[in-house]
Every structure is written in structure tokens, then in C-alpha cells.
């Protein structure tokens, strides 16, 4: 999985992944343009930017305009490390965080809209598992005829979140990979007696701030290229913001340590970092979202796809499908299929060994 992602990134934007050929629509112009396909790896900065903009545009066009609140659910450091060796449990964290909010809402007979994002990294690329959750500060009442406000309190959410995680680990105890020092339940009991950090941000009037913040991290790698300060083949230096001191710091490590820190955050194939619950859950949103729009006196919305020409035009102010010679439109005339992942493995293997690549 890690190797395949690295291979895709190395091939991104090259003809080895395939490309599209565009030709000028003007019969008197012979200009052609090659557009190479992207790798679509969730760990590629280039593809991540495109995926980020598409996700943000989709959420901004679909989510209802109402009061939202961003809540961060964290875990003690020791439990984060246990999840590093038991990654199969990561898929439960978003569900459990949403379950806490849904339980609070259910007591008031309300169904809110929720979306979550799972992060496994800190700013310095250490393993730091936490769940970002955004929820409407209101929702559909039981008979779905009115919109009812909601309020969330840290003192009630924290013990509920702590219980859900401890219960998850207790139920999975027999299958956990643990160090010898954690051979009994006592370490779980100790953490159950301590307060955990659940941070409630100030409620906002709409979802844009939450969407824009999360979009920068869930569709892109944990380290932007702009944060890389130095690399000489042996040492890597990158910048990061220390949340504790609110100051910018520099982290220095070997190239091997850097790759280990970075690649540990590559999600498993098919793993969903973003999930939806409440009236935003995929199985009910088609039925409930129109009711939410109606109760909030808003027009029904549909997600509009954001294509690569629009992204390039927005970023650089240039339409990539305009002929640079005669200003006519470029039209697609051919698609060339690229190498399969197995062929790419062979290609980069022989390239790394500086051996001739067999036909």
C-alpha cells in the first residue's frame, strides 16, 4: 500500500500514467496539447489540492445554511499508540464520535446533520489520532415537521466519548496487539479515571469555516510542500506551528525518519476519512435534506462537479482549453491509457537499480 502510493506520486503528471490529446477546433490551426493524467493518490500534494477544492465546492453547495459547531475529540497519548499497532480500530472512531452527538440529540428528540474527519497526524507528523466533527446546532424534530435548536456542553460530551473508546478497547482486548507492560485491564481503568480533552469551538453561523479548515487536511497529505525548508539527501527540515506555544518551529530529522513519519499516515485502501451521519447520512440524506431546506426556508441544492479546467482557470486565470495560437477551443481527440500499477512497480524497480527496463 505504501509502496504503491509512492510509485503513483512519482508517476503523477507523467505520460506513464496515460494522457489526453486535445486539438484545436479551428481547421486551419494544427496546434495540439497533451494533458497527462494525475495519480489520484490521497497522498499526492498535486492531486490533493484538486480533491480539496472539489470537496469544498461540493459541501458548500449542499450543506444547509444554519448554525454549526466544530468539536475535536482527542485520545490520551498511550491509547493513540495502541491504535497505531491496531489500525483496524481506526474505522470505529468517527462512528463513536458521531454516536456521542446523536445520543445527546436523541434525548431532545432531534436529528442533527454531522460530518466527521479522522486525523492521525500532528503538525510535526507524529502519530496523533483525533476526530474532527462538525454538527448543526439544531436538527429535525421527531416528526420532522419543525427545526429545533441544540446545545452541546463539554462536561457532558467528554465522559461519553471516554466511555465509548474505553468500551471499544475492552471489547477488542483479546485481539489487540499490545506491549508486555499492558497485559491487564488496569491501564484502561487508569485512563477511565482521567479527564480527556474534548474541544468545542465557538459556534459559527454557517459551515464554510469548518469545511475550508477540514478540506486542507483530509484531502491532502499531512505536510504541504511549502513547509519543507531543506533537504540535502540526508537531512530534512520542515516548519510547523506548535499549538502549545503558538509559535512556529523547525523540525529536523534524517531522510529515513522523515519517510517513516510521513508514510505512517497513508490510509488503508478504501478507508473513508470523511463520514456523514444524522440527516446527512448517505442512506437518508435524499429524503431528509429537502425537508431541512424547506424548514430553514432555503432552496434545494445540488452538488455541482468542479472539473480540472475550472480549477486551473480559478488558480491561474487561464483557460487551459483555449488554443494559444488562434484562441479557438481545444477539443478532446484521443485518450492514451497508461501503465498498470504492476507495470509501474517494474518500471520504478528497474529505474532504482539503474538497470535496463525490459520490453
Q: What is the pLDDT of residues 21-39, one digit of tens each?
A: 999 999 999 999 999 998 8
Q: Which residues of the chain are modeled with pLDDT < 70?
A: 1, 181, 183-185, 216-219, 303, 352-359
Structure-derived torsion over alpha carbons of residues 290, 291, 294, 299, reported in degrees to the nearest 10: -10
Q: What is the pTM of this model?
A: 0.86
Q: Under a CB-based contact definition with an 8 Å cutoff, are residues 297 and 290 in contact?
A: no
Question: What is the C-alpha to C-alpha distance for residues 37 and 314, in angstroms, rounded to an integer?
Answer: 19
Question: What is the C-alpha to C-alpha distance for residues 77 and 122, in angstroms, rounded to an integer?
Answer: 12
Q: What pairing do the DSSP bridges indicate for beta strands 32-36 and 68-74?
A: unpaired
- HSE-up of residue 45 (Cα within 13 Å, Cβ side): 9
Question: What is the C-alpha to C-alpha distance for residues 35 and 347, in angstroms, rounded to an integer?
Answer: 21
Q: What is the pLDDT of residues 154-168, one digit of tens each?
A: 999 999 999 999 999
- Helix (H) or strand (E) segment spanning residue 185: none
Q: Under a CB-based contact definition with an 8 Å cutoff, are residues 335 and 23 in contact?
A: no
pLDDT value of residue 352:
67
pLDDT value of residue 164:
96
Q: Give the chain's mean pLDDT.
A: 88
- Helix (H) or strand (E) segment spanning residue 191: helix 186-192
Question: What is the C-alpha to C-alpha distance for residues 97 and 194, in angstroms, rounded to an integer?
Answer: 18
**Residue 99 buriedness (CB in 10 A; 0-12 / 13-18 / 19+):** middle
What are the respective helix, strand and coil percentages of the chain, to the nearest 5?
A: 40, 25, 35
**Residue 50 buriedness (CB in 10 A; 0-12 / 13-18 / 19+):** buried
Structure-derived torsion over alpha carbons of residues 40, 45, 46, 50, reported in degrees to the nearest 10: 70
Q: Under a CB-based contact definition with an 8 Å cutoff, are residues 44 and 9 in contact?
A: yes
Q: Under a CB-based contact definition with an 8 Å cutoff, are residues 280 and 116 in contact?
A: no
**Matching residue, cell 477511565:** 192
Cell digits for 345? 512497480
Nearest Cα neighbor of 266 from 57, 38, 90, 50 is 90
Cell digits for 268? 488503508
Question: What is the C-alpha to C-alpha distance for residues 27 and 153, in angstroms, rounded to an integer?
Answer: 67
pLDDT value of residue 355:
54
Amino acid at each position: 500500500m505504501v509502496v504503491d502510493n509512492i510509485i503513483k506520486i512519482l508517476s503523477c503528471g507523467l505520460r506513464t500514467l496515460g494522457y489526453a490529446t486535445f486539438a484545436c477546433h479551428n481547421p486551419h490551426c494544427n496546434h495540439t496539447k497533451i494533458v497527462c493524467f494525475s495519480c489520484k493518490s490521497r497522498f499526492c500534494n498535486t492531486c490533493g489540492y484538486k480533491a480539496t477544492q472539489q470537496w469544498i465546492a461540493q459541501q458548500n453547495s449542499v450543506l444547509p445554511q444554519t448554525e454549526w459547531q466544530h468539536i475535536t475529540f482527542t485520545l490520551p497519548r498511550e491509547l493513540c499508540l495502541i491504535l497505531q499497532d491496531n489500525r483496524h480500530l481506526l474505522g470505529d472512531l468517527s462512528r463513536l464520535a458521531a454516536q456521542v452527538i446523536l445520543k445527546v440529540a436523541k434525548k431532545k428528540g432531534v436529528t442533527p446533520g454531522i460530518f466527521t474527519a479522522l486525523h492521525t497526524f500532528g503538525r510535526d507528523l507524529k502519530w496523533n489520532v483525533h476526530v474532527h466533527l462538525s454538527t448543526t446546532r439544531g436538527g429535525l424534530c421527531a416528526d420532522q415537521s419543525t427545526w429545533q435548536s441544540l446545545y452541546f456542553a463539554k462536561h457532558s460530551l467528554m465522559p461519553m466519548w471516554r466511555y465509548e473508546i474505553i468500551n471499544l478497547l475492552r471489547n477488542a482486548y483479546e485481539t489487540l496487539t499490545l506491549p508486555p507492560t499492558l497485559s491487564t485491564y488496569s491501564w484502561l481503568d487508569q485512563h477511565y479515571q482521567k479527564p480527556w480533552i474534548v474541544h468545542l469551538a465557538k459556534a459559527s453561523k454557517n459551515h464554510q469555516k469548518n469545511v475550508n479548515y477540514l478540506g486542507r487536511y483530509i484531502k491532502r497529505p499531512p505536510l504541504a510542500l511549502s513547509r519543507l525548508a531543506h533537504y540535502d539527501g540526508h537531512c530534512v527540515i520542515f516548519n510547523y506551528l506548535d499549538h502549545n506555544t503558538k509559535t512556529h518551529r523547525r523540525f529536523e530529522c534524517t531522510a529515513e525518519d522523515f519517510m517513516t513519519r510521513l508514510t505512517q499516515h497513508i490510509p488503508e485502501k478504501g478507508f473513508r476519512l470523511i463520514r456523514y451521519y444524522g440527516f446527512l447520512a448517505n442512506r437518508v440524506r435524499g429524503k431528509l435534506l429537502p425537508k431541512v431546506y424547506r424548514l430553514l426556508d432555503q432552496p434545494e441544492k445540488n452538488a455541482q462537479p468542479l472539473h480540472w479546467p475550472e480549477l486551473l482557470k480559478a488558480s491561474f486565470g487561464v483557460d487551459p482549453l483555449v488554443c494559444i495560437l488562434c484562441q479557438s477551443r481545444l477539443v478532446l481527440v484521443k485518450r492514451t491509457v497508461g501503465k498498470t500499477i504492476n507495470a509501474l512497480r517494474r518500471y520504478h524497480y528497474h529505474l532504482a537499480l539503474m538497470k535496463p527496463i525490459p520490453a
